[in-house]
Structure formats: C-alpha cells, structure tokens
Structure 1
C-alpha cells in the first residue's frame, strides 16, 4: 500500500501526466481538493473508488482517511493542485505518514502558473528584461511569511512575480507593487486556468483590481506581475545569437 501524492496540475483532466492517470486508475481511494479541479479529473479513478473532497477537511481528517486505507491495504491517490512542490502542504502530511510508518511517493504535475504563461502565450524570462521568476504568496489569515520574504523585497529585484493565494488582496498588493514596478506594469490574472470556467484577465497594476472585483474572483486564481508580460523590444538570447553561430562556423566555439 502506498499514498501517492499526485500533482493535478491546473485542474484540467487532459493535463494530467500519464503516470498520474495510471496511479489514479489503480487507487481505490482518492482524496482531492474540489475547489481547484474539474470534476472530469475524477473520471480517471476506478469504478467504485472511495472519493473524498478535502476542501472541508482539516489535516487530522485527511490523515485519518490515509491511515484507514493503509489498514485496508488500499493505495491512495492524494491529488494536489498544481505541482506538489509548491503550496501543497505535503510536508505536513508526509511527516504524519512517516510517523505512522505509511509509505508514500510523489508524482509531479503541471503548475498553474506555467499553464497560465502558456495560455497568455508569454515567456516569463525575457533577455535583459527579467531572468528570474519568484513564486510567493500573500499573508492574511495564514501562517506568517519568513523574515526577509517581503513582497517589497522580491519586487525590488524586478523579477517576474507569481502570486498564489493572493486574489482577495489584489488591490492592496497592486498598490504596494506599483512603488517598484510602476502603475503601468503589466499584470495577468488566471482563474481556473485550462478549465471550462477559465477567466483570463490582462491589465496593469493600475486597473487589475477593478477587473478582479468586477468578476468577483475570490479563489483558485494566480496573479502574474512583471515587464516580461509585455516585452517586445529585447535582445535575442545568447544561446541562439548570430554571434554564437558565427563562432561555431569558424571552429572557434564559445566557452
């Protein structure tokens, strides 16, 4: 018996990995966050599977379901929104499973922010515009951010910012970020990206809050901020530059 933590990606059934669908089909128990995924994802589960929507469960409830399955000798598919490496709470869950002697493994998924970039048709790292992507979140009714991980500190680098769990504070965050990026800095918001209910908003730090509030978005959304979203006049990557090609043709190479 194994608990399989599976990245459900942005929640679209056809964006699961082949491994994810195989594990879902072989697991008699599936725990999933109904808030973040399309119900079609569950069609990969076997007929008669025990399905548990965890959006109303706490960590103790979730662990109890896993331990009960362990006692029955049944594999568990634990679907995580996006990729399990970010904001999935698997650290807390696996710590409890380790203490109980329950085996587990992890299957990666497509992160919602990468799906957002794809839908926007944008690369988030553009030469001499932004070469770093910062994944962070807002802190309100949640655990405190570590010392030094302030929004202003990240914004000061000029990197492309991806904000999770922040949609309810978009107006406040836009005002704070404007001091570093400028009010005309491009912003994109993706709600339930790649799902039937998908909403993609494009704007600036000056108007994005009005758009979000007009659509009454309160959860399941990713915010992307940075000049890479609008970059048009930029240098070409050194990897594909003509200078590199000329050096290769001359036999000199590049080191």
Structure 2
C-alpha cells in the first residue's frame, strides 16, 4: 500500500495526519524546531503524561485537544487517532525521547497504514544524548572506546532476545547506555561486573530534563546501592563508560600532522 506523506510542518494548516513526535527527555528547550512547529499547529495532541512533562506543551494552540495516554492501551489510542484524522484534523502522538527507541511506534504505524492514515515521524533527543551533554562527556574517546551500545533489561512489557543479553553486550566494554533497568539494578550490576572494572564510572541519570532531575556518577560496584538509597525505580538511565574517567587525550582529527581533502599536506600551518 502506498502511503502519502504529510505536508511540511511550515505549511498552515497541517495536513490531516498522525505526526509521531519525539519530545526529548523532558527539557522543552531540547525539542527540535520541527517538533515545536508541529506542536504549535496541531489540532489534537496525545501524550504519554507519565513520561512527558506538561511544560513540553507550552506554546500549543489554546483550542488544541489534549489527550493523556498513560492510562490507555493501544486499542484505546488507535481509534482516537484514526477518527480525528478522518475528521480532517492533524494529530500529534507525542513520545518521550526519540521515537526510534523503546517507543512502540512500529505497531502504531502498521495499524495506521492499514487504516490508510498518513504518518510522519519526527525524531527527538534521546536520554543518552542529554546525559552526555549534562556530563560534558564524549562517549567515544580515541584509543579508549569507539562504540556506544543502547540497550535495556528484560521486563514484563518486553523481553530482550537471548543474543542481546546484557552479559554478552558488556563483554565489549563499550560506552553502554542502559534504559529501563532501575527495578533490576542488582542483576544488571552483577552482569556488568563480569566484564567492566568495578571502578568504571557509572552516571545514574534520573528524570533528565525534568525539574527534579538528579545525576550521580559513582563506581560500577556502587551502582545498585546508590539506586536503592535514592529510591530510583523508574525514568532512570545508566551510562556505563570508561570515557567518563578519560584523562588527557587527543584525537588525530585536528592534529597538524593529519591531512585530508580540506587540509592537504601542503597547506600552511
């Protein structure tokens, strides 16, 4: 089935369609310009109110229909979106972070496409990116770590394939960003300690971008204890990385001995 694309967000009004928009981790200033434009024009906004703070909705139309979805199932949400688009209204489905990560948009897009409802996906800042910015950290340090792994722990809502178990991913000793793991932090710590040094820094990031944001950087062997002491059971991201303790280092990228197309060897220094 061929799906038509909605009009660009600069068009007024928006084309009747579902716009799946990444809200970022919580700070409204981290919305993309495109997301802001769409939110400002949308007729209907469905948002996961347990994960998206209300300040992200600053600037929406006063007459926009706001629908909270924390207490709704997919079977509740889909008919609303389909009905509003068929009534020639533009609909935003607002997800926390970036829609490509742990957002369950795949099943929504399949159902909307089957219903011949146009869909556009607008990316957002993910929590791991916001965490790195808050920490003033580069997660890919030359000669130390060059890989970032985004993963999660198996839970009631979604199982992790056996081939992607945390224990096997930890063997790479990469910069590992662990989502949705606070309730299983003891198990996660045990699996990480099988491969990472116990003193490897871990950034425990709670509700990034929210007014009550908390970030603690602790050694890996204290990860579970600090999580329990601070009663963090949800909306917590762990960044486990040797990059968080990197000393003085320099990449070749801007080194005077490194040449490339735009900085040839004959260029004046």
TM-score interval, smaller chain? over 0.9
Q: Does 1:187 align with 2:202?
A: yes
- Alignment partner of 2:256 out of 237, 242, 251: 242
Q: Does 1:223 align with 2:241?
A: no
Contact 2:52 2:95 in 1 (8 A): no
Q: Distance in 2 between matches of 1:94 and 1:39?
A: 25
Q: Spell out, residue by residue over 1:227-247, the C-alpha distance to the aligned partner (whole angstroms, 9 max, x if none).
A: 11111144x21212232169x
- Alignment partner of 2:88 out of 69, 73, 82: 73
1:106 match: 121
Contact 1:12 1:37 in 2 (8 A): no
Q: Spell out, residue by residue over 1:29-82, the C-alpha distance to the aligned partner (whole angstroms, 9 max, x if none).
A: 101111222211112221122111211111111112101212321111111111
Q: Distance in 1 between matches of 2:96 and 2:264?
A: 47
Higher helix share: 1
1:16 match: 31
2:5 match: none
1:152 match: 167
| Unaligned residue ranges in structure 1 (runs of 5+) | none
Runs of 4+ deviating beyond 6 Å: none
2:190 match: 175
SS in 2 for 1:109: coil
Q: Does 1:51 align with 2:77?
A: no
The two structures have a TM-score, normalised by structure 1, of 0.93
2:224 match: 209
1:119 match: 134
Question: What is the CA distance between 1:221 and its match in structure 2?
Answer: 1.4
Aligned-residue RMSD, C-alpha:
1.9
Q: Spell out, residue by residue over 1:150-180, the C-alpha distance to the aligned partner (whole angstroms, 9 max, x if none).
A: 1122111111100111111112211110110
The two structures have a TM-score, normalised by structure 2, of 0.89
SS in 2 for 1:222: strand
Q: Does 1:90 align with 2:105?
A: yes
Contact 2:182 2:233 in 1 (8 A): yes
SS in 1 for 2:258: helix
Q: 1:250 to 1:76 in 2, by over 3 A?
A: closer
Contact 2:148 2:176 in 1 (8 A): yes
Question: What is the CA distance between 1:249 and its match in structure 2?
Answer: 6.6
Q: Distance in 2 between matches of 1:181 and 1:251?
A: 44
2:51 match: 36
Number of residue pairs aligned between Structure 1 and Structure 2: 252
Q: Distance in 1 between matches of 2:98 and 2:64?
A: 23
Q: 1:199 to 1:243 in 2, by over 3 A?
A: same
2:75 match: 60
